[in-house]
Amino acid sequence: MGQHRDILVTSALPYANAPLHIGHLVEYTYTDVWVRFQRMQGHRCHYVCASDAHGTPTMLAAEAAGITPEELVAEIAASHQSDFARFRISVDNYLTTHSAENEELTAEVYRRLLKAGHIHRRTIQQAYDEQKQMFLPDRYVRGECPICGTADQYGDACENCSATYTPMELKNPVSVISGTTPSVKESEHLFFRLGDFEEELRSWVPQHIDEALARKLDEWFQAGLRDWDISRDSPYFGFEIPGESGKYFYVWFDAPIGYMASFLNLCRRLDLSFEQFWDADSTTELYHFIGKDIVYFHTLFWPSVLSGAGYRKPSGIFVHGFLTVDGLKMSKSRGTFILATTYAKYLEPDCLRYYFAAKLGPTADDIDLNMDDFAARVNSDLVGKFVNIGSRCAGFIHRLNAGRLADQLPDEALFAVFAAAADEIAADYEARNYARAIRRIMALADKANQYIDDQKPWLKAKNPEQNDAVVGIATLGLNLFRTLMIYLKPVIPGVAERAEIFLAIAPLTWTDAQKPLLGSGIEHFKSLLERVDRERIEAMTQEAHSPV
């Protein structure tokens, strides 16, 4: 089992202007499988998350809905939490970044950075919407790319030629909010001196992130680390900057501090030590699970802000790729995304968790949800190979031994093979190589089914003299099923819960794989998982494609 570990884990914060879709669930599954595995190992593993509340999009979405930003955030955060529950994402605390704890910590971090000389002021030019009387974020200006001339591009980067630029450089710029041509205005902004941390980051980054991503970050080092604008002008939905007038913290400044805030909220509720996990000399572990689109913020800005403010840096940043569906990029404008609630209305959440886990590894490669493959894989692996073992064996135990398992195993060597796989599978989970763990587990499931096929208990059961042998075979079959359930429990916790009820046992831990279950009573077998029905996939896809 090794040494006891104290671990704090976070997932990236979903934005509080829209409900979760299945693309989000790649990340929450990726995180939750790891968290559940650590807890099964007996480690103390806290998992916190929150809705990312601030910024112009929330402000405008609330205005369009005729409600306050606070009301919108509360409503969406509640929907995020119910999706977490539905997909069994075992988060210990879920907050929003528009919370007292986040305001308190953001002000504290800022004060420390200011005192240490890491903040300075500079006057900048910005696009301004005269009609709406507001400065426009880069993405709220669209126009023709100044490099290749492609029309309707955002104000920060061209989707066609990948050039980056400022909104002022766009040709024929238009405000996304009012449709008018923006003017250019000057404003004094506060900047974080990222360059102060270049040396520290150059040694920290390669040790805390996947090699391929570290190479990508090296390009940013070559280009030079630019100071980071951490302020925004009124009107803006966010926290006011202490000591400033009409200035607000940029959402990306207070969003990662939201990790600390959600944990602080948990600490105050459960009387835990915040300092134990966040002090600069902390010996605990801190991991952030994120998507590859926000690597820059989490590996350059965030560790620098933490270091500059006297807090500890993360132990590791774990990055995953994007989700495509049937080979196509998910896109709100194209309507090819499926809401978490829509999925759960038609299909079992554990099936999606399993399919994602079977494709996820330690690198940031994209994964594809192919609907035909999804149905085939779940039906073949989970229903056909795994659950089938339990349903094949349970009847014999009830019919021939009053629902009690045998007192010994007929083939202890086979059980030992399954028990011996625990370390390799644990190493795969630890390294976030879930795809490899699942391959190993399914190879064992094949072995278990092979054993039952070879022993043919259904034939032996026709001869009353063979009753003890049949009960022995079924007992071993159910023990192999239980071992597989232990190994799959981080991935399919809902099925695991139902299996624990069926086997009449306490919640399974990792070490349970080493000792067989003998002589105890089991419940009658009830279906643990239904086959994925093509018609239900069609109905779900239909609903996802219909205009809202």
What pLDDT sits at residue 430? Answer: 98
pLDDT in tens, the chain (548 residues): 468 999 999 999 999 989 999 999 999 999 999 999 999 999 999 999 999 999 988 998 999 999 999 999 999 999 999 999 999 999 999 999 999 999 999 999 999 999 999 999 999 999 999 999 999 988 899 999 999 999 999 988 888 887 778 888 999 999 999 999 999 999 999 999 999 999 999 999 999 998 888 888 888 899 889 999 999 999 999 999 999 999 999 999 999 999 999 999 999 999 999 999 999 999 999 999 999 999 999 999 999 999 999 999 999 999 999 999 988 887 554 446 899 999 999 999 999 999 999 999 999 999 999 999 999 999 999 999 999 999 999 999 999 999 999 999 999 999 999 999 999 999 999 999 999 999 999 999 999 999 999 999 999 999 999 999 999 999 999 999 999 999 999 999 999 999 999 999 999 999 999 999 999 999 999 999 999 999 999 899 888 876 55
Inside any domain, residue 341: no
Same domain, 395 and 420: yes
Domain boundaries, position 106? 6-111+251-320
- Preceding amide of 206 cis, omega within 30: no
- Rounded CA-CA distance 37/541 in Å is 32
Q: Is the dihedral of CA 264, 266, 271, 277 positive or negative?
A: negative
Same domain, 256 and 169: no
Domain boundary among 320, 347, 363: 320
What pLDDT sits at residue 546? Answer: 60
Same domain, 95 and 185: no
What pLDDT sits at residue 335? Answer: 47
Same domain, 500 and 386: yes
What pLDDT sits at residue 162? Answer: 75
Count how many Cα atoms sit within 13 Å of the Cα of residue 327 in the half-sphere of its side chain. 2
Same domain, 24 and 61: yes
Same domain, 395 and 496: yes
What pLDDT sits at residue 336? Answer: 63
Closest by alpha carbon to 43, among 87, 10, 8, 12?
8
CATH number (domain holding residue 408): 1.10.730.10
Report the domain count for the chain: 3
CB contact set of 203 (below 8 Å; sequence gap of 6+)? none
Inside any domain, residue 106: yes
- Provide Rg for the chain, Cα atoms: 27
Q: Which residues pair with 285 in a beta bridge?
A: 7
CATH number (domain holding residue 90): 3.40.50.620
CATH number (domain holding residue 146): 2.170.220.10
439-466 exposure pattern, b = at least 16 Cβ within 10 A, e = fewer:
eebbebbeebbebbeebebeebbeeeeb
Closest by alpha carbon to 185, among 122, 141, 140, 134?
134
- pTM of the complete model: 0.95
β-strand pairing of 171-175 with 141-144: antiparallel
Same domain, 123 and 224: yes
